[in-house]
Structure 1
């Protein structure tokens, strides 16, 4: 434990909230509450959220960033049980690391009219390493029941005072009361930026602080901000959002510079050029790109007789994918490329920096691209923490450009894993210069389906299904199918299609990445046709029709992110039973979204004892602006209704 010399007077704070918010003072009224009066659909509610971030001075260690957390959560039903698990992220670099201590936590239940509390056992607190730079402390509250209240508090001490975690004011459950404080000595100058839809105005004060160094007392001023909010609505996850956290109401404190007594100014707020220069000059980045001795012999043998640059890229890319397995760690720095190559396992930084170095060794123009994964958010400000991943960019002599990620053996050029499809990446050239590159693909991913179906007199259907999948549709299929137990996979497929019986299931090109996925099977399903009197009624897409519109909100404030452009098409051939004829079919339809964002085409033709259906739905943009939300929502409503329209057969 570090020897505390003196604690800044700024860390002494006066409670501005009522006694009911004191730790441990949970009331019967809170435990008896059956739902949130402002949001009856909420499975849980923050009754109180408190955060105090400030600085304390520790002898030879100097200033430390201290964050104190106190949270009280009401859990209404089982859907809210996930809020009983708390994860605390801790940053580390070299011998410096953040520490969490003073964890105190209780679960409160109302039993026979009396409040009973259950204390968190310290043995139930676990620490795990999530990456070279991140640890995680995790605990799950005991004795969780519907209607309980949980409460915990803890303190994080950090030597990284330039990294202030965002103040998040909006969560996926509502918040009744929130108090947040930030206080910094005059030696630290921060820029404050806000995002989200909430109107947030802090109370600001200048206060006095003092500290003792040796036998001297030093007085200084501090800048104090306090945020006091009530009844904050939830911001819940929605379909087709790259990361809902990008749109939460939050504040960021970015350190601009420090100026200590009798010292010069040290700037922290930087440009992207500064960030790139520091990353490139790091021994875990730029130096790793220069290392070649560990792979020279192998790569020379691999491409020794190859002159075609595109073939070199293919061979080296496939070689890295087959030789080094991703360990699941994110990061753009390499841990140790030599070790990763030798042990056949490494982080994303190890694998893709290794790939970049090999391509350069082969005489190709290749550079790393910094990426922020979808779960990490969008980097708005110049900071190394804005990125957490890296891929490889390569340019061929004919000016063809490809983005490569060797962390997955099923990845192909320009088909990055879905986690990496997040706006723009930052490419770093050999000289340390940088630029932006669009991570979203331009080529559409396709799923083309052909169905041959026959209806019997009992209203059952049987037939055959065949699909061809390309690009991201193929990647997604391979990632799920190739690692699954085949019996389980088939059972889940039958359940997804409401109990259809599937036989002769076959997949081609599941490991041949040069060809599209081909999936085929035979099917049988009872009661797919309604028989009323001498008529039959059915949707020509049967169990494959779309039945639910993912867009349900009246208004949406943020973009719709599909991840990649796509085309879904159906060609359905239906033989009707003998003794019946086609009485009516749905009218043809063609819908176009504005500005070529997408289209839907639907056409049914009935002739003799055969019916043919052609359906095509395509989205041409990876991201659709919220200004198009209403028309996009109506577009989905229209084609869902169209696919539900029925063909009518009548007995001859």
Structure 2
């Protein structure tokens, strides 16, 4: 494929042959990365050429193109746009009409102190258009090469990337994301670079310096994928940035002509030492003198109690600005005096206060749900976007986040994402963020069958993250709308009473409410009763025949329903069969028990899943288990009049 050169078949294409429902498709894309040496500096030149076919109105959003670049405000390492050209092709009266992109419509926006975004929109895009664009990027950021994503939100017919790496550089190549079939070729390419070199110091500390042409037997790697299905939204999907099938390159070492080997791949030990020297991070942690007067007024019998008291003091003092981050120059006294701040301003201030009280407290940096998973071996500061607090107590390590109104020891669901890195020169380690996370729902149902109606009294108790989720829902939409949502779930029933029985904003991990509901029946006919009217899954969320993305639950969970149904004399009951069912891996179970004693029918359902992450190859097992559970929960009790 050559930029701007296409044939009539591409313009008359009506659908994607291997994914007919596509709104648009990548006909072909090619990437080419090569090294250059100029003015004593190595750089890479990355050329991306892409052609996209638009099938529907919704597919026209593919004309909006953006590229994020590593471009720190301070420092000499940058990625930059060298050139961009783009053309929209339309078929008009049997001939190809081309509309080029005006360079004045290419925009650069600073997103943060480390990132800028280049964006443009191709002109005159219509249903049936074919768009071409070619981007050239230049970078002297050699530690990590530009990655290549084979998979996108639309299908891709051909995706090819070629990397030519001089023999002086040793990179680790990683194929990440969903599994796709790649064709790989490796060849040797002879290149020549004008290179300035320095020898190691000799006798007297003298160095030899010279400039000459150096030949390199460079390694050319070519990867090709075809007919790549798009990434789609699916239930319990998390960390979309990690999902696309892609290649990443990490620099391990280099050896320039007449020079010694240099190692570049960082590790978490050196990463920790570095960020603990930052004024906006490590230097804030022992600046807690501002908290000393308040700490003297606190009374506690244990480290846990004192830490909890300081946590609630900081928590109640601050107003959260809803901004994430890892570093903040104001953390400590300045942030405390201002009374509001982002995540690091509040939580680094909490650590300083805890340390002032003699408590071992540490920052734990993490990536929130949906932001991706940090590399477990090679640290990258940009992998992290949040910091919480780890407190060492007699009960073990307790995690806390004072930006929330949660109890001491509970972190928000947004933080339940894999592992976080505890930053300390002595105790640095990965911390499982989901270890203490659990969701518990208990529903007690008492049904009474009368001549013309069934009356149900429900008592619902939500604990742990079930309580947190319910409280946040009520806070967000209000009690009235919350009741309406419950009413929709009980569509066959008339709610006569709704009462929030217990739970306070100071204890969001517990929420209780009661419901009284009824529905009319015809006692002269056979009566069908669905016993689990609330508290159990009734539909299988996993419906697709296959899945390419991992299943990620934020926590393990347990749903428990106990139902008791009283029937009058003169009826016989046909009950669903009892059973015990388990996932093949024993990471989930479902207990369903029924019996009748006199005029009382008793049912118990307990649905548990303890594992939080399932690989795509475990999908069928999980899907079948869910189907069994939902089918069983929909089975009816049949009452026949004698």
- The corresponding residue for 1:637 is 627
1:447 has 2:447 as partner: no
1:444-483 paired onto structure 2 within 5 Å: 444-453=438-447, 463-483=456-476
Instruction: Identify if the C-alpha distance between structure 1 residues 640 and 337 changes in structure 2 by more than 3 Å, giving closer, same or farther.
Output: same
How many Å apart are 1:639 and its aligned residue?
Answer: 1.4
How many Å apart are 1:274 and its aligned residue?
Answer: 2.2
1:4-403 paired onto structure 2 within 5 Å: 21-25=1-5, 27-56=7-36, 59=39, 62-77=41-56, 80=59, 83-96=62-75, 97-100=78-81, 102-105=83-86, 130-138=111-119, 147-195=128-176, 196-210=179-193, 218-221=213-216, 222-243=218-239, 245-246=241-242, 248-260=244-256, 265-293=261-289, 295-297=290-292, 299-300=294-295, 303=298, 305-338=299-332, 339-374=334-369, 375-385=371-381, 386-396=383-393, 398-403=394-399
Aligned positions, number: 621
| Contact persistence 1:275–1:382 (CA under 8 A) | no
- The corresponding residue for 2:203 is none
Whole-angstrom CA distance in 1 between matches of 2:620 and 2:429: 35
Instruction: Identify if the C-alpha distance between structure 1 residues 200 and 311 changes in structure 2 by more than 3 Å, giving closer, same or farther.
Output: farther
Q: Any idea what the Cα deviations from partners look like across 1:427-463, whole Å, max 9, x if unmatched?
A: 222x3552222222245320112334566777x7664
Instruction: Identify if the C-alpha distance between structure 1 residues 205 and 335 changes in structure 2 by more than 3 Å, giving closer, same or farther.
Output: farther
Q: What are structure 2's unaligned runs of at least 5 residues? A: 197-209
| Contact persistence 1:581–1:608 (CA under 8 A) | no
Whole-angstrom CA distance in 2 between matches of 1:137 and 1:232: 26
The SS at the match of 2:476 is coil
Whole-angstrom CA distance in 2 between matches of 1:71 and 1:139: 14
Whole-angstrom CA distance in 2 between matches of 1:359 and 1:45: 54
1:437 has 2:398 as partner: no
TM-score by length of 1: 0.82
- In the alignment, which of 533, 541, 550 is matched to residue 532 of structure 2? 541
Instruction: Identify if the C-alpha distance between structure 1 residues 342 and 206 changes in structure 2 by more than 3 Å, giving closer, same or farther.
Output: farther
- In the alignment, which of 392, 414, 417 is matched to residue 412 of structure 2? 417
Of the structure 1 ranges 566-575 and 323-332, higher mean CA displacement relative to structure 2 is found in: 323-332
| Contact persistence 2:109–2:116 (CA under 8 A) | yes
Q: Any idea what the Cα deviations from partners look like across 1:52-109, whole Å, max 9, x if unmatched?
A: 333455658x444443333333344466566454442232434245444644445555
Q: What are structure 1's unaligned runs of at least 5 residues? A: 1-20
Whole-angstrom CA distance in 1 between matches of 2:384 and 2:364: 10
| Contact persistence 1:179–1:229 (CA under 8 A) | yes
Instruction: Identify if the C-alpha distance between structure 1 residues 515 and 177 changes in structure 2 by more than 3 Å, giving closer, same or farther.
Output: closer
Whole-angstrom CA distance in 2 between matches of 1:33 and 1:461: 60
Whole-angstrom CA distance in 2 between matches of 1:642 and 1:604: 12
- In the alignment, which of 622, 633, 648 is matched to residue 638 of structure 2? 648
| Contact persistence 2:569–2:599 (CA under 8 A) | no
1:588 has 2:571 as partner: no
1:558-569 paired onto structure 2 within 5 Å: 560-569=551-560
How many Å apart are 1:574 and its aligned residue?
Answer: 4.3
Q: Any idea what the Cα deviations from partners look like across 1:596-631, whole Å, max 9, x if unmatched?
A: 422211223456665443211011222346665444
| Contact persistence 2:279–2:329 (CA under 8 A) | no
Of the structure 1 ranges 79-88 and 398-407, higher mean CA displacement relative to structure 2 is found in: 79-88
The SS at the match of 2:604 is strand
Whole-angstrom CA distance in 2 between matches of 1:413 and 1:128: 40
| Contact persistence 1:104–1:152 (CA under 8 A) | yes
CA RMSD of aligned residues (A): 3.9
Whole-angstrom CA distance in 1 between matches of 2:161 and 2:616: 31
The SS at the match of 1:182 is strand
- In the alignment, which of 604, 610, 621 is matched to residue 611 of structure 2? 621
Instruction: Identify if the C-alpha distance between structure 1 residues 400 and 100 changes in structure 2 by more than 3 Å, giving closer, same or farther.
Output: same
| Contact persistence 2:37–2:195 (CA under 8 A) | no
Whole-angstrom CA distance in 1 between matches of 2:519 and 2:513: 19
| Contact persistence 2:440–2:559 (CA under 8 A) | yes
Instruction: Identify if the C-alpha distance between structure 1 residues 229 and 318 changes in structure 2 by more than 3 Å, giving closer, same or farther.
Output: same
Whole-angstrom CA distance in 1 between matches of 2:88 and 2:524: 61
| Contact persistence 2:327–2:344 (CA under 8 A) | yes
Instruction: Identify if the C-alpha distance between structure 1 residues 651 and 316 changes in structure 2 by more than 3 Å, giving closer, same or farther.
Output: same
- The corresponding residue for 1:17 is none
How many Å apart are 1:369 and its aligned residue?
Answer: 1.9
- The corresponding residue for 1:599 is 589
Q: Any idea what the Cα deviations from partners look like across 1:21-58, whole Å, max 9, x if unmatched?
A: 33344555334434322233444322122223334556
Instruction: Identify if the C-alpha distance between structure 1 residues 330 and 151 changes in structure 2 by more than 3 Å, giving closer, same or farther.
Output: farther
| Contact persistence 2:73–2:113 (CA under 8 A) | no
How many Å apart are 1:637 and its aligned residue?
Answer: 1.8
| Contact persistence 1:593–1:635 (CA under 8 A) | yes
| Contact persistence 2:581–2:590 (CA under 8 A) | yes
| Contact persistence 1:175–1:233 (CA under 8 A) | yes
- The corresponding residue for 2:205 is none
The SS at the match of 1:310 is helix
The SS at the match of 2:46 is strand
How many Å apart are 1:364 and its aligned residue?
Answer: 0.8
- The corresponding residue for 2:477 is 484
